[in-house]
Amino acid sequence: MAKARVLGNYRIVVTPNIFISIDIARACERLRDAIRAHVVGFASCEVHFDTADVCSFCGKPWLLTTNVDGDDVESCCEENLKEFMADGEGD
């Protein structure tokens, strides 16, 4: 049986220059607005982004797990664990 490859899900990916903007979300919105204002013949132009939960203390991926009994506690950093225990959740 012969196999043929067809193309689909066409898209253009535009990556903003992160070196000129600290607020990357706003830079993406400006690029979107410029495309909408100056380009014709497209179906849609939207800003999409990924999200991740990170620790507000250390910036590492969020990690706070406890045992059902509350005995085993694992945290991404000491400050996160201290806040957890201070909130009375570690009791």
Q: Map out the domains of the chain as residue ranges.
A: 13-49, 50-91
Residue type, 89: E
Mean pLDDT of the 14-27 span:
74
Residue 18 has pLDDT above 80, yes or no: no
- Rounded to whole angstroms, the Cα distance separating 14 from 27 reads 11
Residue 68 has pLDDT above 50, yes or no: no
Q: Which two tokens stand for residue 77?
A: 């950093």
- Rounded to whole angstroms, the Cα distance separating 66 from 75 reads 9
Confidence of residue 27 (pLDDT cuts 50, 70, 90): confident
Q: Helix, strand or coil for residue 61? A: strand
